[in-house]
Structure 1
Amino acid sequence: MRPRSLLLLGAGFTVWAVAFVALYAMLSVGCRFGWDDTALDMAGGLSLQRLQLIAIFLVHLAAGAAVVMLLRRRRGEGFLYPLAYFAAIAALGASVFSFAGVFFLSACQ
């Protein structure tokens, strides 16, 4: 067992945690600067606030999917790789469940 394989157990949930912090921080910044009142015509009338929250969500979703795909190739090796793979899948599901509200919940009420 290599020390790196032990760190891979938390890789998916690390991406989830970074997404949580980034979304929460940018929600606060956007509300403070009034980005929720700035509608962008080229984005279908979405506010700048919602657009940046969706962008952060999608970037972190792609990062979580990349972690899953990386671990999928190695899940047959050893004991910890399959556990890390399934933990990354759980983290990806938690990301979708936790952060999908950026599409429909009010931002700054």
Structure 2
Amino acid sequence: MNLNFVLSLSIVVVLISTTFGKTYLEGVKGDEDKLLYRRFVKAAGTPLGHAYREIVYPEKGESGGPIITCINATDLSRPTSKKGGKVNLFLGGVNKTFAVLDFKSALSRGLDFDVKIYGH
């Protein structure tokens, strides 16, 4: 095999493994911060497909409240699987009163996240 091809393939594998299956963390939880929101995001996987979910804080009907200081989305499947999900902050976030998080599973895998939003 060509050495350049093997090196390129190795880099791609490393990039994929570091993109999926990580804990998403934005901001810093301070001593005075309170847990504002907690949800478990679960979705079954589909063969050759992705699972998608969206979390909106605050939920419909709730008004914006405290300022968000920290968002933590932990991939609970990570200890048992090397192919976890991916989280993106779509809107809002730290120093805002709202957040929209988008979740996407790895190919043919499901989602299993514990999401916590802290603020004051």
Give me the TM-score of the superposition, normalised by structure 1: 0.33
Select the structure that is richer in strand.
2
